[in-house]
Amino acid sequence: MRLDQYLASATALSRKDAKKAVSTGRVTVEGDICRQANRQVEATQAIYLDGHAIALPGDVYLMMHKPAGVLSATRDSSQPTALDLLPGELAGQVHIAGRLDKDTTGLLLLTSDGQWSHTVTSPRRECRKSYRVWLAEAIPEEACRALEQGVMLNGESTATRPAEVHVQSSQVIDLTIREGRYHQVKRMLAAVGNRVERLHRFRIGPIVLDDSLAPGSFRALTSEEIHSISG
């Protein structure tokens, strides 16, 4: 992490003020004055501002209501990303744990905790993800049974793991899967002769998207939500 980013994350200084503090000799790294704002530093190093030790806060855990048209990416030169929706200094601390397609809305988890993120995304953990799926055509009972048993996706050599299907109406289902293949939900519905018109993720593991979050907004996870994802 850059020294000015470290200062901005660990103190009330803005990035601009952090750069100024470094350039004026107010910051020491391992006992030596450092005037290079772009110096790479580690959290384990002794970093002082005006003679006072500073340290990064604990890990960050967020949920975001991702709107359509936003990429689940750190940065992109031409399109808006989920991290663009965060304040700059916060965006620099986190990564996305479990991406969504550009046109898919709903729950994104973002964190600075790599081990926690691995628990969410590792195929071996089988972390459940639940989606509200709006379909082009009415879904027959036999298609629901096929999804619950596992279907063969185009270009794949193994069938999907059994899914959970809850029918909301003739063209709307809630689908819960335990893996994360490429465009999996859309391809599963294509495998049973249907087409996804709209897709919204509302749950990852035990964590449910907060109904009060408008598209594009975020909040910190509660302690209970954080610990509901076990390592």
Q: Could you tell me if 104 and 132 are in contact, meaning their C-beta atoms sit under 8 angstroms apart? A: no
Cite the active site residues: 101
Which helix H or strand E contains 6, and what residues bound it?
A: helix 3-10
In 3D, which of 151, 206, 157 has the Cα closest to residue 184? 151
Distance CA 73, CA 95 (A): 8
By three-state DSSP, how is residue 57 classified?
coil
**Strand 27-29 to strand 172-177: parallel, antiparallel, or no bridges (unpaired)?**
unpaired
Q: Could you tell me if 46 and 54 are in contact, meaning their C-beta atoms sit under 8 angstroms apart? A: no
